[in-house]
Amino acid sequence: MHDRSIAELIAAVRSGETTPRALTDHYLDRIERLQPSLNALITRTAEAAHAVADGLDEQSPGALAGLPILHKDIFCTKGVKTSCASRMLDNFVAPYDATVVERLAAAGTVMLGKTNMDEFAMGSSNENSFYGPVKNPWNLAHVPGGSSGGSAAAVAAGLAPAATGTDTGGSIRQPAALCGVTGIKPTYGRVSRYGMIAFASSLDQGGCFARSAADCAHVLSAMAGFDPRDSTSVERDVPDYAAALSGDVAGLRIGLPREYFADGLEADSRAVIDAAVKQYEALGAEVVDIDMPHTDLAVSTYYVIAPAEASSNLARFDGVRYGHRCDAPRDLEDLYTRSRGEGFGAEVQRRIMIGAYVLSAGYYDAYYIKAQKTRRLIAQDFQRAFEHVDLIAAPVTQAPAFKLGEKADDPVSMYLNDVYTLPASLAGVPGMSVPAGFAHGLPVGLQLLAPWFEEGRLLNAGHAYQQATDWHTARPAGFE
Amino acid sequence: MNWETVIGLEVHIQLATASKIFSSAPTAYGAAANEQANAVDIALPGVLPVINRDVIAMATRFGLAIEADITRASVFARKHYFYPDLPKGYQISQYDLPIVAGGHLDIETAEQGARRIGITRAHLEEDAGKSLHEAFDRETGIDLNRAGTPLIECVSEPEIRTAAEAAAYAKKLHALVTYLGICDGNMAEGSFRIDANVSVRPAGSTEFGTRTETKNVNSFRFLEKAIEFEVERQIDVLEAGGSITQETRLFDPDSGETRAMRSKEEAHDYRYFPDPDLLPVVIDEAFIDTQRGHLPELPDAKAARFANEYGLNTADATALTQSRVLADFFEATVAAAGHDKAALGKPAANWINSELAGVLNRDGLSIADAPITATQLGGLIARIQDDTISGKIAKQVFDALVAGEGESADAIIADKGLKQITDTGAIESLVDDAIANNPDQVAQYLDGKTKIVGFLVGQVMKASQGKANPKDVNQRLVAKLDAMK
């Protein structure tokens, strides 16, 4: 059952071959058995899932009626703990649903639980979780990537057919690549941020994980679209992505940015990417080299803007109205310092400090304003590239998943790891990772980037590739 | 040494919108604590602000009324500081690109004459909540009902020179925003809050002295007192060889003094940056034209028209246009009194500015709660104009109307039989009686002391119980007395 596509699962419910309740129980059972080795979930919502599933049948109107789903614990879920993997919100039960959660529920999905993540989405390894790291199902000694590592690992291990995630600097594409699943980060503004706990508001974008591009198309169609509660969401029609998949990429111009294939890219991973590109050529796509000259500015630009916004967004966690409050504060100052000092983990504190620094008087122009300028240059690279090509193909990471603890003491090396995913985030263009093979026994993802609001093109390119290859159907040993 | 005072005012104008600036929670005053704070107002994780369109419309109308530039793409910025009544840890305000830039107000005071005070900028921001220190034992309560209430902060140039000018500027601004209907103007409830930046410098100096900012000034009278106190205090410090500390001071209405609240040295680095949750507010010409079309007649224009149309002097015209309700009351009174605006304006102004103002003052009422309607007052004035009653009787009728003793002046006049005596025979006989009964005064008149006729008029009026027409009585007396010469 868990090897079926989303289209097949929905059809099985519609035909009465299975029921939403049976599907739900199937996945809840896998979670029960497999979660302990992965730590992919923070919260299980079996009881609520049963109640929802029991209210659905083959007649239910939603496009995804009966489809089990997991939500990253960054999305507010009414009546369910929403922790952002932080001690700060360990006691926080959201009183409302995020727009994404609301829309997917309206489409008939059944929430099975909330997935683990890097605290407040800050991290690339999922080691920054108050609830402990998530393990990569392909090798439990390795990281699943982050920050949406729990969602990626859960889909890879077949704990759910789909999971939501968020991508600020690569937090969907990187764990999708490292766990061998398909993950899409839509255009900034495509998916509502309302109810998605903010890390860096100008970069955060909700998206999803599933086994294939076609599966992602079904989920994204249900979650995307304008939301009047999010001023940065864009008022633009959402196509039926799944219906539009043709699997045809003949004549498509694909650009390979030289800067993404430079020294840092590990040889075996490069071989996987090269083979994937050849596959596209075999499918009739035209591949050309392109230049994106400001790519090397992305890491420094991102690590000014994202912490700046984070330092501001996380100011609300002060121990006054909700969340962690220190014991017996002596005075207001003590309440703030101890509540925040105890509630936030080291990486979150580090980024708040960096953010407060770059926004402070005397440094604002040199850092924040400068970073806004380099951000525009990076966006221009994409603008110019897409005047010549329809899609960009590139690696997601320089190497496959590293070992747990390997980079934990070296934040800068961890930051540099995001070099291939940050530019698209800064530009706001949609990006996707599709499984493209293995290196050292671990999955390697191919990154596809499209012009603003061309998610359909991205999904179709991924679909075409997955029609011709079967990397996306591979299951890690022990999770068959 | 001669000192010059330099004053700049920052006024927080609470906008009279139905809902908050970035959330759909209502703004009504006086609800139970935290009853009007929704998920956005209490800054739950994941919530986002959405700008209230009415706020932009009101700020645009304000900008047009002070002849300012309306910024075509203004930007909201986050101002960071930690305080329990500031739920997000930052206030959404405007910094580099406020919605209103420039502008001015024209004021007039006895001492300084007419002056134009520049306005630097007016920006939009959200209000914070309230910390309640008194209600709890050794704890502080937080009420977030006010959090997210829309405010315009209007900052004047440091061009005000006296406490009286500061009050005139504040009154003018108050009249303007209430005319525009963008603020209820209720100072006691904090709808119009004034902070005064005050410094002094040696007369003739072009450099500014160190300034202090005085907060919590919630009436025009207190504003004058606070500034007067602060100016004296600063001069005393400087003349004693001391220096002024840049600080925030609090005005204590009981003592009439200001005292230091916090020093700017401990001031925060607010770490302003553009709010990434909100797009720039783009305003086009069509929107501005629409808002211009919504502008009412403003106080200056109304005062000029009153002077012209109703033949009022500047003082009366200015006094009557202080508030839109008062101006409307005046116009309704004249309309009820008759058609001849030029003739009826002055008596209507007099009745409103003296008799009615006296009653309102005595009972602590505002014009909106006046115990007499414009129609009733106009009806009364009509009866004076057509000589149905004398001015003296009119006062009696006015008091009866205020006391609610009748529906209209006509009803009261009829009920109480106050109609002026028009029966010539009756008046003639009263005049004859007065001449007969006061031989001494008559002799004086005949002796050339013609002013004594007033006494005789008084005698006739008294005998008629005020119902004779004094002008008519005067004429008849003079005619008869002159005939006796």
pLDDT value at B435 more than 70: yes
Task: Please name the residues in contact with B226: beta carbons below 8 A apart, sequence gap of 6 or more.
Answer: B196, B214, B217, B251, B256, B258
Q: Cα distance from B45 to chain A (closest Cα, Å)?
A: 5
Contact assessment for residue B165 and residue B143, using Cβ atoms and an 8 Å cutoff: no
3-state helix, strand, coil in chain A (%, to 5): 40, 15, 45
Q: Is B449 exposed, middle or buried (0-12, 13-18, 19+ CB in 10 A)?
A: exposed
Per CB-CB distance under 8 Å, the chain B contacts of A318 are 82, 84, 89
Neighbours of A372 (CB within 10 A): 16
**A147 classed as catalytic:** yes
- Per DSSP bridges, beta strands B247-252 and B212-217 are parallel
The string of pLDDT tens digits covering residues A13-59 is: 999 999 999 999 999 999 999 999 999 999 999 999 999 999 999 99
pLDDT of amino acid B467: 79
pLDDT value at B476 more than 90: no
pLDDT of amino acid A410: 86
Of A75, A96, A308, the CB nearest to B273: A308
pLDDT value at A269 more than 70: yes
Neighbours of B72 (CB within 10 A): 15
This prediction has a pTM of 0.90
Q: Given the structure tokens 């596809």, which residue do they identify?
A: A448
Largest CA distance in chain B: 100
* Residue A101: closest CA among A20, A30, A191, A40: A191
Q: Which domains are seen in chain B, by residue range?
A: 3-287 (no CATH), 299-416 (no CATH), 424-484 (1.10.10.410)
* Residue A166: closest CA among A221, A123, A127: A123
Interface residue A97 vs chain B (CB under 8 A) = no
Encoded tokens for A215: 């599966």
The string of pLDDT tens digits covering residues B300-327 is: 999 999 999 999 998 899 889 988 999 9
pLDDT of amino acid B359: 93
Residue B92 and residue B270: Cα distance in Å, rounded? 11
pLDDT of amino acid A179: 98
Least confident of A339-348, B123-132, B185-194, B380-389: B380-389
Q: Any idea how long chain A is?
A: 480
pLDDT of amino acid B470: 82
* Residue B344: closest CA among B372, B303, B383: B383
pLDDT of amino acid A415: 87
Per CB-CB distance under 8 Å, the chain B contacts of A201 are 276-277
Encoded tokens for B303: 């005062």
Encoded tokens for B131: 């910390």
The string of pLDDT tens digits covering residues B61-88 is: 999 999 999 999 999 999 999 999 999 9
Residue A441 and residue A138: Cα distance in Å, rounded? 8
Q: Cα distance from B246 to chain A (closest Cα, Å)?
A: 19
Contact B89 A318 (CB under 8 A): yes
**A171 classed as catalytic:** yes
Strand partners for B262: B248
**Chain A, window 358-387: residues with a beta carbon less than 8 angstroms from a chain B beta carbon:** 359-361, 364, 368
Per CB-CB distance under 8 Å, the chain B contacts of A231 are 48-51, 277-279
Contact A364 B39 (CB under 8 A): no
Contact assessment for residue B44 and residue A195, using Cβ atoms and an 8 Å cutoff: no
Region A82-87: mean pLDDT is 98
Rounded percentage of chain B residues whose pLDDT exceeds 90: 72
Distances (CA, A) of A295 to A292, A300, B371: 6, 10, 75
Q: For the range A271-276, what are the long-range contacts, defined as Cβ-Cβ under 8 Å and sequence gap of 24 or more?
A: A271/A439, A272/A436, A272/A437, A272/A438, A272/A439, A272/A444, A272/A446, A273/A393, A273/A394, A273/A395, A273/A436, A273/A444, A273/A446, A275/A436, A275/A437, A276/A393, A276/A436, A276/A437, A276/A446, A276/A465
Instruction: Tell me which H or E stretch contains B458.
Output: helix B453-463
pLDDT band at A339 (very low <50, low <70, confident <90, very high): very high
Tell me the three state secondary structure of residue A163.
strand
CATH number of the structural domain A6-254+387-473: 3.90.1300.10
Domain range summary for chain A, segments of one domain joined by +: 6-254+387-473, 296-369
Radius of gyration of chain A (CA): 21
More confident residue, A280 or A264: A280
Listed in order, strand segments (DSSP E) in B134-285 are: 141-143, 150-156, 192-202, 212-217, 247-252, 257-263, 273-274, 281-282
Q: Is A470 exposed, middle or buried (0-12, 13-18, 19+ CB in 10 A)?
A: exposed
The string of pLDDT tens digits covering residues B396-433 is: 899 999 999 989 998 888 888 777 776 778 888 888 88
Interface residue A341 vs chain B (CB under 8 A) = no
Strand partners for B92: B78
In the set A83, A147, A425, A433, the catalytic residue is A147
The string of pLDDT tens digits covering residues B109-120 is: 999 999 999 999
Per CB-CB distance under 8 Å, the chain B contacts of A72 are none
pLDDT band at B266 (very low <50, low <70, confident <90, very high): low
